[in-house]
Structure formats: C-alpha cells, structure tokens
Amino acid sequence: MTNFQRVSQMNAAFGNEQGDRKSIGWDRIRSQCRNIGHEFAELLLALGADSAQVKDLVAKIDAVQFGGSVNLEQVRDSLCDIHVFGYGAHHLMGIDADRDMTGVIDAVMTRFVKDSADREATVAKHAAKGVTDVYFVGEYPTMVMKSASDQPDAPKGKFLKSASYAEPVFYPV
C-alpha cells in the first residue's frame, strides 16, 4: 500500500471520509491544510528554532483569513511540493521516509480505542486529568473517544488518545 493509501485508510478510520472531487468542501480543506502550518511549527522547534518566534508564527497561521477564489491546480501543486520538500529532507538526511511514515502511521493508529479493556483504561486516564464528559464514535478496533464539552486541555469535540497510545518508533540511524 502506498503512503497515500495508508493515510486515506487512516482518515476513513477517523471518520474523515474521502471527499468528492466534483464538489470539494473547501472549508474542510482549509482546516486540514492549516494543520500543515502547525506541523511545520513543530518541525521548526525540532530543528532548534526559537520557541517564542514559532509561537508567534502559529498565531499568525491561525489568524489567516480566507475569502478569495480557490485555484485547484495551484492547491494540488502546492500540496505536492510540500511532499517533495519533506521527502527531499529525508533524502538529504539519508533516512528512508517510507519506513518513517510506517512508524508514524502505526503510532497514529494506536490512538484508537481497540477493545473494552482499552476503553476502560482510556476513560480512567482522561478522568484523572479532569476530562469526564466524553462520548464514543465508531466500533472496535477503531473507536474514537471525544470530549463532549469544553474541559481542561480537551475542548468540545477533541479526539482523546487511547490509553494504549504509543509514540512513533523509528528505526535506528
């Protein structure tokens, strides 16, 4: 399976069904693409950037307003360029991006509640942090627990990681 196919499958598991290219939901696309900016900010921090500057950058990304016309071809080109530069950075480091992607997607998939024992542990984990008003979407092994109201570090609708969540594991370099 390609990285795109794995990410598509992962999105479907999260309840993000594939869109219709004949009727693109641009608000949904804008929201998704804003996350690229947030991930870029994490990258800058990982590369040693000044945290105050990065925080300011994220605030500016979040403040961007949309209202102009959309150019589908330029959107597609820009998204591909993001992949090209990301894969290019892996190439320049001498690290296999496909293997890294496998580690990241495998870790993301651990965010789901996989069974009843994991559900109990996940409820307890978040309750210990003051997050008690929750609801569940989906079925095992891709059940999602979400915050049902604004709570400490859990705004309404936030996806809450399962107790069995594991950080990505990367091959040694």
pTM of the prediction?
0.86
Q: How far are the Cα atoms of 56, 98, 155, 158 from residue 149, in angstroms, in the given order?
A: 28, 38, 6, 9
Write out the chain's pLDDT in tens, 173 residues: 999 999 999 999 888 899 999 999 999 999 999 999 999 999 999 999 999 999 999 999 999 999 999 999 999 999 999 999 999 999 999 999 999 999 999 999 999 999 999 999 999 999 999 999 999 999 999 999 999 999 999 999 999 999 999 999 999 99
User: What's the confidence (pLDDT) of residue 14?
Assistant: 87
**pLDDT score of 50:** 98
Element spanning 160, H or E: strand 159-160
Amino acid at 154: A
pLDDT at 15: 86
Whether the bond into 168 is cis, omega within 30 of 0? no
Q: How many CB atoms lie within 10 A of CB 161?
A: 18
For residue 12, give every residue at least 6 positions away whose Cβ sits within 8 Å of its Cβ, in sequence order, or none. Answer: 18
